[in-house]
């Protein structure tokens, strides 16, 4: 069962982190387009967020299972605590990005996309820090 959860965890990681990188490249492409076309690209790219959300869900569900042997020693594991806090921060960022994306579809898209862009950068950095802490702790 542990192998299945580990595979699920890595699939979720690929989906979540892949979404962040894809959005970064869409942002680069959009910066080189006319504003109207860039706005259409950004709206179309919001569909990727569903993949990121599903990846995060897979990460959290499998992560809870994989953490089973570590819950008892958690208080004496500052790297693991930091990693879990960053996961909570990432979940918050993903929820905020989702809400801004919903607002972008119905209202002031440019303002919302500026928020999404900032939060997306923070989500990417947070994800990379989570991976770094996981490697440092579990290596």
Mean pLDDT of 2-30: 92
Q: Over the stretch 38-69, which tens digit does the pLDDT of each residue have? A: 888 888 888 888 899 999 999 999 999 999 99
Supply the pTM of this predicted model: 0.89
Q: Check if the beta carbon of residue 105 is closer than 8 Å to that of residue 46.
A: yes
Counting residues of the chain whose pLDDT is more than 90, the rounded percentage is 65
Mean pLDDT of 19-35: 88
In terms of Cα–Cα distance, which of 40, 46, 52 is closest to 100?
A: 46
């Amino acid at each position: 069962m542990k192998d299945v959860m580990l595979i699920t965890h890595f699939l979720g990681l690929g989906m979540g982190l892949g979404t962040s990188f894809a959005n970064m490249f869409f942002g680069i492409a959009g910066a080189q387009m006319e504003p109207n076309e860039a706005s259409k690209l950004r709206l179309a790219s919001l569909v990727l967020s569903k993949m990121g959300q599903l990846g995060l869900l897979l990460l959290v569900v499998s992560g809870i299972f994989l953490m089973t042997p570590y819950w008892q020693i958690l208080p004496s594991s500052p790297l693991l605590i930091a990693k879990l806090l960053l996961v909570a921060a990432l979940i918050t960022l993903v929820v905020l990005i989702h809400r801004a994306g919903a607002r972008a579809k119905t209202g002031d898209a440019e303002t919302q996309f500026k928020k999404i862009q900032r939060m997306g950068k923070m989500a990417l950095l947070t994800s990379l820090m989570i991976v770094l802490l996981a490697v440092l702790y579990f290596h």
